């Protein structure tokens, strides 16, 4: 094998690794994007339900303690989870092999999913109506 | 009588001098300039402190896994389409394996890093993956 052949093999190998990493990035970008879209939909629906509930109570002064406020902090955090997890995984794997990239993105997606499930359970409990 | 001016090569202005010059300092061999952050020899045995730390976080990840497993039947969403329902089921499974997966991936990916770095990543995992649904769906006392 000549040096030229070795260089060509190394180039095709690194190109293959790059393609593999790009595929991992794209697949997980779609999954994280879906999670973000669902979180954004959650924000819209929860704020709408809170508004409807408060409108139902009307201006009755005795119903003041029943009024609810939109938990913006938790809803925005819900939206931020997936992008933050994606970019942290991207930063960690910026010079990593395909196998490491896949493992890190899987862990990032699992962790983001666990946090997302936490909030799916926590936000309705805050509202309690 | 006139003397010819000495010839100057313009490139001399861009040179730091000859390597044979006694005052020449080669940056590549400058011990200050090329000092690298001390890495860990991957073949070297772990210290006792590192083993204790990994043992603590390994045990914690197993406890977290059990806690997430016990809340596997929790209804996180209701009245949603099949795609979101399937997505939540996947997340449900991943949240169960996430603590052990995080621990294993930190040990594998950061094996050449310092012990403190690996323990910090494990601490981050312990914070992020805390099984809140286990506490929220159960009453103690």
SS (H, E, C) chain B: CCCCCCCCCHHHHHCCCCCCCCCCCCHHHCCCCCCCCCCCCCCCCCCHHHHHHHHHHHHHHHHHHHHHHHCCCCCCCCCCCHHHHHHHHHHHHHHHHHHHHHHHHHHHHCCCCCHHHHHHHHHHHHHHCCCHHHHHCCCCC
Q: Tell me if B91 and A114 make a contact (CB, 8 A cut-off).
A: yes
pLDDT in tens, A87-102: 999 999 988 999 999 9
Q: In which domain, by residue range, is A37 found?
A: 3-127
Domain count, chain A: 1
Q: Check whether B7 has a pLDDT greater than 60.
A: no
Q: Is B94 close to A34, i.e. CB distance below 8 A?
A: no
Nearest one of B59, B56, B38, B66 to B119, comparing CA atoms? B56
**Structure-token pair, residue B56:** 């603590």
Compute the distance between CA of residue A127 and CA of residue A119 in angstroms, rounded to an integer.
12
Task: Identify all chain A residues contacting B136, using CB atoms and an 8 Å cutoff.
Answer: 121-122, 125
How much is the pLDDT for B66?
A: 95
Give the ranges where chain A is alpha helix by DSSP (H): 3-57, 72-92, 98-127
Q: What is the ipTM of this complex?
A: 0.80
Q: Do A117 and B133 touch (CB under 8 A)?
A: yes
Nearest CA in chain B to A101: B109
Residue B34 has pLDDT above 50, yes or no: no
């Amino acid at each position: 094998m000549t040096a030229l052949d070795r260089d060509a093999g190394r180039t095709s190998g690194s190109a293959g690794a790059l393609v593999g990493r790009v595929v991992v990035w794209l697949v997980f970008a779609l999954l994280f994007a879906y999670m973000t879209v669902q979180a954004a939909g959650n924000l819209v629906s929860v704020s709408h339900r809170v508004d409807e509930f408060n409108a139902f109570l009307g201006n009755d002064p005795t119903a003041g303690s029943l009024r609810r406020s939109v938990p913006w902090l938790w809803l925005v955090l819900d939206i931020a989870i997936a992008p933050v997890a994606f970019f942290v995984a991207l930063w960690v794997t910026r010079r990593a092999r395909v196998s490491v990239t896949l493992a890190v993105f899987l862990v990032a997606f699992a962790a983001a999913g666990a946090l997302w499930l936490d909030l799916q359970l926590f936000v309705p409990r805050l509202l309690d109506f | 009588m006139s003397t010819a001016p000495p010839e100057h090569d313009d490139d001399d202005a861009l040179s730091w001098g000859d390597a044979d010059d006694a005052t020449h300092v080669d940056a590549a061999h400058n011990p200050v300039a090329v000092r690298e952050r001390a890495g860990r020899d991957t073949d070297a045995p772990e210290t006792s402190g590192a083993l204790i730390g990994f043992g603590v976080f390994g045990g914690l990840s197993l406890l977290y896994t059990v806690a997430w497993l016990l809340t596997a039947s929790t209804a996180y969403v209701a009245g949603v389409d099949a795609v979101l329902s399937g997505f939540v089921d996947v997340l449900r499974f991943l949240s169960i394996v996430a603590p052990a997966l995080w621990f294993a991936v930190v040990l594998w990916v950061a094996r050449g890093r310092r012990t403190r770095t690996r323990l910090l990543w494990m601490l981050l995992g312990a914070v992020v993956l805390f099984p809140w649904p286990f506490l929220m769906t159960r009453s103690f006392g």
